[in-house]
Chains A and B, each alone.
Chain A
Amino acid sequence: MTSIIQYFPVNLSEIHSQHVVMAVTGYSIVFLSFFLLALLFSVIPKFLSWNIRRTFDDEGDKVKKALAGNMIPGEVSAAISMAISLYLDELHDQENAILTIRKVGKTYSPWNSKIYNVINTNRFQ
């Protein structure tokens, strides 16, 4: 136990009030900046949809105005993306009907040579 304390000499009296104040203030500032960022980006979509509605209102387009700002849910976006992806992947269904025959060549190797096997069999007898 003594050796552990020697290696890790924890001394809580080293922590002064200025250190605690710095830690608490620092943590609070991180929270504050994120809180403001969260607040800002909660308001921005509402402002954007209000702005779009106002534009459609000026144009007199009631249908578009009613739909404006209704964000598409992620599941719907995913379904649309999947449909587009599948459609694009299926485009190769119309084949060009050109067949290519590639020559299959066997490279020579003495390891699989029939001649060597036949000739050498006699030598070992």
Chain B
Amino acid sequence: MDGLMQLYGYSGFANATPGHLLMILVGMVFIYIAIRFEYQPILLVPIGFGILIGNTPFIEHGGMALGIYQDGSVLNYLYQGVLKGIFPPLIFLGIGAMTDFSPLISNPKLILLGAAAQLGIFMTYLGAISLGFTNTESASIGIIGGADGPTAIFLSSRLAPHLVGSIAIAAYTYMALVPLIQPPIMRLLTTQKERRIKMKPPRSVTKIEKVIFPVFGLLLTGFIAPGSLPLLGMLFLGNLLKESMVTKRLADTAKNAMIDIVTIILGVTIGASTQATTFLTHSSVLIFILGATAFMFSTAGGILFAKFMNLFLSEENKINPLIGAAGVAAVPESARVAQLEGLKADPTNHLIVHAMAPNVAGTIGSAIAAGIMMSFLL
């Protein structure tokens, strides 16, 4: 009988708390929206399942070393890739190998929209300070506004490792919800006439330009913000592997097998890090609210800057301000949202190619912002 009672004591039924059940529900919601609505399924399915793994209750002090926060557990070993900032640069390598920077090279002024859309990072940094977070915590929370999961994980693992789980979950949740968050702001800040602006088709880009871009891009951004080197170094390396055309095998591995493996491990461990006993805190709620604010400011920053640029541009070179919203790095979701909103205003106006320029610039911008934060705070 004692043996049975001991077995029961080790089981999930004996150790479940309302927090565990709530988080299991959250995990199921993640899996549901990923499968039902196909919102970022590649990320949300591993994260959602990771939440289930991390929140299946067990005796934390039973000496079994199961939990992600317990030394010696398998999950803890995998989680080191997050805590030590190893996974984000590897993901950036894959992103670089997938990304075509041609829209940006063909119309370089659109890159500025990617800078403007980093407004949310710095505004949220101040907002988090006003809510009592420390300097390093605030910078980590602010980076959610960059709408780039790996960058958010990278910076928070450096500056506020205890908040990595909350920040990553907030970042990926809002990235998945870009189609719901951005359109109302886009409609609020633009007129019907502005949404109908047709932009000039981009010129074709030569191979030399495509090869030069990662090399000069790295040197320029690296010299200005060396803190961003782990991310941008890998991003531009991945892009050079792709554009040089002589390292196809390496580019294929980076953009397929490698990024998939890292995404699975990253997603599961981030999900599992939301263990109810450490995750369900007042700070996590505040981080979620600040994260939403960051996304809104970033979207508004990009749109308003596009309108500002239009004041100085000739009629045929005007920018459709909707593509400013794509300056947040959620690639390619925010560019798709710009395309859909553009089509609603004018069914013949296709903005996706133009929107990809600020979209990929946003990835670089958020990494630079992270590098700057690290330079200031470490």
Q: Could you list which residues of chain A lie within 8 angstroms of chain B, going by C-beta atoms?
A: 7-12, 14-15, 19-20, 22-27, 29-42, 44-45, 48, 71-77
Contacts and interface: CB of A to CB of B under 8 A. Distances in A.
A81 to B, nearest CB: 10
Nearest to A72: B204
Given A27-B122, A30-B369, 15 more contacts: A8-B286, A9-B131, A14-B131, A20-B126, A23-B125, A26-B376, A27-B118, A27-B121, A37-B111, A38-B109, A39-B108, A41-B213, A42-B109, A48-B206, A74-B201
Closest 3 CB pairs of A and B: A74-B201, A23-B122, A38-B108
B204 A71 contact: yes
Given A33-B225, A45-B209, A38 B111 contact: yes
Contacts of B365: 30, 34
B361 interface: yes
Chain B interface size range: 35 or more
Given A41-B108, A41-B213, A26 B373 contact: yes
A37 B223 CA distance: 12
A7 B122 CA distance: 23
26 contacts: A8-B131, A10-B130, A19-B129, A22-B376, A23-B122, A23-B123, A26-B372, A26-B373, A29-B368, A30-B115, A31-B112, A33-B220, A37-B108, A37-B217, A38-B109, A41-B104, A42-B108, A44-B209, A44-B216, A45-B206, A45-B209, A48-B209, A71-B206, A72-B204, A74-B106, A74-B203
Contacts of B376: 22, 26
Contact of B368 (A10, A30, A71): A30
Interface string B316-330: 000000000000000
Given A8-B289, A19-B125, A19-B129, A34 B361 contact: yes
B128 to A, nearest CB: 10
A32 B119 CA distance: 14
B135 interface: yes
Interface in B324-378: 353, 361, 364-365, 368-369, 372-373, 376
B212 interface: yes
Contact of A15 (B126, B201, B289, B368): B126
Contacts of A33: 115, 220-221, 224-225, 368
A33 B369 CA distance: 10
Nearest to A22: B376
Nearest to A18: B135
Contacts of B204: 71-74, 76-77
Contacts of A8: 131, 286, 289
A38 B364 CA distance: 13
Nearest to A45: B209
A11 B132 CA distance: 8
A10 B131 contact: yes
Contacts of B212: 44
